[in-house]
Chains A and B, each alone.
Chain A
Amino acid sequence: MNDTPLRTRLRLYRMMYLIRRTEELLMAEYHPADEMRCPMHFCVGQEAMPAALAPVLRRDDVLMSHYRSHGYYLAKGAPLDAMVAEFYGKGTGANSGVAGSMELGSHDHNFYSGAIVGGSLFIPLGAAFSQKYRGVDDISVSVIGDGVFDEGITYEVFNLAALRHLPLLIICENNKYAAHTAIERRQAVTLLAERAKAFGLPIDKLDGNDAELLLRTLERLVPQIRAGKGPHFIEIATYRFCGHVGPGNDDSMGYRSADEVERWRARDPVVAMRKTLAGAVQPVELEQLERDVDAEVHDAIAKAKRADFADIRAIVANNWADEYAAVVDRFSSGVTPLFQAGQSEARPGPF
């Protein structure tokens, strides 16, 4: 009945459960403690795609996600402790405490994110260019929301990726809302993947809450992209159970109906994944896995609270590298130009 090996399904479930519990426990800690002082966009309900990406990506692959990034950070293999410490603004954070949730990154793991809508589409474009230029078989993965389709640069990126045949996988999580504005209120034509297709990108449209389906698709596509088949676009239908920003529920704003929320909650990806395991794994085994994950998250939060903040002097010294490539050392510097004083300003001709 199920083709996915049990070990793989357990791995998917563990990652989904880790993401879900990380979000839930952080939400519980957020208020009233108020020790995490950064805007946070939780991804409850959108755990399937990061979990499916985790097994197919390598450390040298580049992954960049939108600001609802926690799941993708964990999926790229970056450490939970450093992520939670980052939210607490501590020096042990993945970005030394300067990025918080919105610009969370782990440069050692080639994972990036950012607040400005569109960045997670266009930075991976350049990373994919670099991978092709350097002749390696790493790929770049861009994770965007449907909101990116409101931005003009999106279409420049589609064109450049296709024109230059780059190893770029674009994943659009269509959760139907950009912040609190429904897609129908933002776009005259709400088809997304079809627009990517018009630029020459092959597309897939998938159920974004079916982790096994997503993994099967990625296991087929990622090797093709590594092999030089060019960019690909995946649109997944998924849904955010939590509010747009912060730990609270924002459904009282009236931007989406209770019916709609209930319909999607009935298709909870974490619950669905657990169900597929129920018949194959002893309940006690699943419960042990969940207890282990819970302990891991509690431990990360406790460590983050104990950690120190970075020194602000060291932090503000980080704006410029003020360094040059090693090749510069091989050449003399400070050559005094032989400027001809009094030379009249050049007069350009017509052009």
Chain B
Amino acid sequence: MLSRDTKALAKSAQGTTRLSFAQAINSGLRQALELDAGVFVYGIGADGAAGIFGTTAGLVDTFGPKRVFDTPIAEAGLTALAAGAASTGLRPVLVHQRLDFMLYSVDQVVNWMAPWRFMSGGRAKMPVTIRAIIGKGWGQGPQHTKSLHAWFAHVPGLQVVMPGSPADAKGLLLSSIMSDDPTLFIEGRSLFSMQEEVPDAPYFIRLGEALVRRSGHDVTVVTMGSMVPLSLQAADTLAKSTISAEVLDLRSLMPLDVEAIIASVRKTGRLVVAEPGWRMYGAGAEIVATVAEALGKDIRSRPRRVTWPQSAVPTGSKLEEQFYPTSEDIVAACRASVTEELSEE
């Protein structure tokens, strides 16, 4: 693998396999472990038979317990271990089965990892990847579902990555692991069984490059993570009534592809943000503000946000169904956006 040149790789990259999101994560981890001897993967259950919903299954058999290991329930200490290991040359990958669990480690992430490079006067690196899984669907409740992407994206020094498809999950995970900055890699559990063709070879998607998943000219849907497939569904529905929606998958909130957002909204004149998280002070607020600052009156309707209600998440599946926004909510926001015309003066 290491000896392949780019040309050979490009050839082999034509090989693809249909993988689930969970399998794509597994493939990305496996290749990261192969590419760099300093990569290790750990967390509660990381070497277990279930392999954290399949994402780490079988890795310990190939790479051994030195590089893939189970841990005590000590999120803060484990995160500290990542910080110290990364500052001395390793590339740790810490896995949390739920993002909620990592809140014990906010000190390690926010006070230590995030400003580590800054505090060193630009001399140090902090190549840590923290995988955090968001529960959604079946019934998960207040302490298994938080998506605090906006919290963490607020902190200078951190990167926040939110893949919305299996192929992106692999390419973005490999980039996160090989990035020299600390990265929170947020995975929507509801995406784990989604399948698509995923390149067999390792590949890297530069963080901060949004992807136009569907081109359109009436309205821009800026989205991320588990709202990506819902946004694409919405675009399908809208197309039937001749509304052409452009779906922009941010892939990472930090770095944020401001240029891609502005270019798309400049083209369509309308903005809907579909965000898998709370509304107030969320990523949607930042995106709307960014567009307002850049385009001012050069937009054709008020921006709209499709988000979770400003509420903790209920556990029971019937309540959950009513709680989360659906593709129909995105459709409705897009329709309202296209129907409305801002009055001239």
Contacts and interface: CB of A to CB of B under 8 A. Distances in A.
Contacts of A310: 121
A78 B194 CA distance: 53
Contact of A327 (B21, B124, B178, B196): B178
A94 B123 CA distance: 10
A105 interface: yes
B179 A324 contact: yes
B81 interface: yes
B119 A99 contact: yes
Interface of A: 62, 93-99, 103, 105, 107-108, 110, 112, 114, 116, 118-119, 122-131, 133-134, 140, 152-153, 156-157, 159-160, 163, 310, 314-315, 317-325, 327-328, 330-351
B310 to A, nearest CB: 23
Given A336-B211, A345-B226, A331 B202 contact: yes
Given A157-B77, A332-B10, 18 more contacts: A97-B121, A108-B123, A122-B76, A126-B80, A317-B122, A318-B118, A327-B2, A328-B204, A330-B9, A332-B13, A333-B203, A335-B205, A337-B168, A341-B214, A343-B196, A347-B137, A348-B193, A349-B138
A228 to B, nearest CB: 15
B318 interface: no
B178 A324 contact: yes
B171 A337 contact: yes
A153 B194 contact: no
A336 B213 CA distance: 9
Contacts, number: 249
Interface residues of B, number: 94
5 contacts: A110-B88, A122-B108, A126-B82, A337-B168, A339-B165
A332 B205 CA distance: 9
Interface string B272-310: 000000000000000000000000000000000000000
Contacts of A350: 138
Nearest to B10: A332
Majority DSSP secondary structure for residues of A touching B: loop
Given A156-B76, A340-B196, A346-B21, A126 B86 contact: yes
Given A127-B85, A133-B66, A337 B167 contact: yes
Nearest to A123: B84
Interface of B: 2, 4-6, 9-10, 13, 16, 20-21, 35-36, 38, 40, 53, 66, 72, 74, 76-78, 80-92, 107-108, 111-112, 115, 117-125, 127, 136-138, 156-157, 159, 165-168, 171, 175, 178-181, 189-199, 201-206, 209, 211, 213-214, 226, 229-230, 232-233, 235-236, 255
A128 B171 CA distance: 31
Contacts of B195: 343
B236 A339 contact: no
Contact of B80 (A123, A131, A314): A123
B90 A338 contact: no
Contact of A325 (B88, B127, B156): B127
A343 B229 contact: yes
Given A330-B5, A331-B202, A320 B181 contact: yes
Given A133-B40, A346-B192, A324 B204 contact: yes
Contacts of B138: 348-351
B121 A98 contact: yes
A334 B6 CA distance: 13
A119 to B, nearest CB: 6
A330 B6 CA distance: 6
B84 A127 contact: yes
Contact of B112 (A116, A342, A348): A116
A243 B4 CA distance: 62
Contact of A334 (B117, B178, B209): B209
Contacts of B13: 332, 335
B180 A331 contact: no
Nearest to A108: B123
